[in-house]
Amino acid sequence: MGKTMVIDGNSIMNRAYYAIPILTGSSGTPINAVMGFLNIMLKNLEEYEPDCVAVAFDVHAPTFRHKKYAEYKGERRPTPTDLIAQFPVIKHILGVMGIQTLEAEGYEADDIIGTIAGISAENGDECLCLTGDRDCLQLIDKLTKVVLIITKPGSNSETLIGEKELMEQYGVTPQEYIEVKALMGDKSDNIPGAQGIGEKTAFDLIKQYHSIEGIYANLGALKPKQRENMEEFRDKWEENKFLVTINKKTPINFEHRPFKYEQLREMAILEELNRTGLVSLRKRLSRAVEDQISWF
């Protein structure tokens, strides 16, 4: 059985950008998000020892969700220009490291992650989804787990969530998590949920009735105001469920490329980090070379 780690490039870059003060490389290009991303990636490569690594990125273009709902992500703040400038840098460094990056116009990084998780499952391989976005919790199954990254200024933490942990922490199955998201909506994506039903109530209702359809089959058991709100939501919930469900059939050319930590020791990588201004990371990998670290 193999183990693939697929990284949510946009999510981790965003979290790293806001967790680390602005730093610039020798060329004047900001590198705080790049440094944070690489630190998080290297830490988790060491922790989980995958034999295949891929990084998924969004494409700056409308997705199939925008075609369904024009206001999708309509109120999201523009990405800071000094963060935008760092995406070509991280993609270049990942390329030098031999780590594949994947994009698909019309789809989001989550859809790429879901597709790779599905491919891995079909091959009988484990898949670890490294992200700061809880949306990927819907992907969890017997072979797929989520490494959820929480960043704070100067530090970050991670939680490994599988089927057992999801039920212990949230009280729902992965499929039920989709129902919760559809019911409560998602402010960050500008998806309005049922009026008056926030996160806690959404979880409580889905824990009890297991799906939005289950709620409608038991409307008489709800409080009068909840019943009224659900009636108003009746013609919207299917669209919401479509919007929050990750597409696992994204058209990508994913290759299960063998990955070993040894490939990060190449002098070309060390020199690229030095050129970019990521001296602390260069020293970290240099020590790995000196210590002859080998996982396999």
| 72 and 192 co-located in one domain | no
| 155 and 67 co-located in one domain | yes
Q: Which residues are registered as beta bridge partners of 8?
A: 56
Residue 31: CB atoms within 10 A of its CB come to 27
Q: Specify the 3-state DSSP secondary structure of 41.
A: helix
% of residues, the chain, pLDDT over 90: 68
Q: Which tens digits make up the pLDDT trace of 209-235? A: 999 999 999 999 999 999 999 999 999
| 176 and 216 co-located in one domain | yes
Q: What is the pLDDT of residue 274?
A: 64
Q: Which tens digits make up the pLDDT trace of 98-121? A: 899 999 999 999 999 999 999 999
| 231 and 90 co-located in one domain | no
pLDDT at 290 over 50: no
Does residue 228 fall inside a structural domain? yes
| 98 and 84 co-located in one domain | yes
Range of the domain at 108: 3-164+246-291
Write down the pTM of the prediction. 0.89
Q: Which residues are registered as beta bridge partners of 159?
A: 148
Does residue 279 fall inside a structural domain? yes
Quote the mean pLDDT of the chain: 88
How far is residue 45 from each of residues 201, 223, 261, 273, measured CA to CA in Å? Answer: 37, 49, 8, 18
| 185 and 74 co-located in one domain | no
What is the domain count for the chain?
A: 2
Q: Specify the 3-state DSSP secondary structure of 129.
A: strand
Last residue of a domain, one of 244, 259, 281: 244
Q: What is the pLDDT of residue 289?
A: 42
| 145 and 30 co-located in one domain | yes
Q: Residue 259 — pLDDT band, cuts 50, 70, 90? A: confident
Rounded distance, CA 28 to CA 78, Å? 22
| Closest to 247 (Cα-Cα) out of 65, 70, 12 | 65
Token pair listed for 109: 């990084």
Does residue 296 fall inside a structural domain? no
Task: Please give the average per-residue pLDDT across 76-97, as a whole number.
Answer: 89
Strand order in 52-56's β-sheet? Answer: 100-102, 52-56, 3-8, 126-131, 144-152, 155-161
Q: Which tens digits make up the pLDDT trace of 177-220? A: 999 999 999 999 999 999 999 999 999 999 999 999 999 999 99
| 125 and 37 co-located in one domain | yes
| 9 and 57 co-located in one domain | yes
Q: What is the pLDDT of residue 296?
A: 21
Q: Specify the 3-state DSSP secondary structure of 144.
A: strand
pLDDT at 260 over 70: yes
| 233 and 284 co-located in one domain | no
Q: What is the pLDDT of residue 42?
A: 86
Rounded distance, CA 69 to CA 59, Å? 18
Cα 84 → chain centroid:
18
| 217 and 198 co-located in one domain | yes
Q: Residue 13 — pLDDT band, cuts 50, 70, 90? A: very high
Task: Please give the average per-residue pLDDT across 51-77, as a whole number.
Answer: 92
Burial (0-12, 13-18, 19+ Cβ within 10 Å), 97: buried
Specify the higher pLDDT residue, 109 or 78: 109
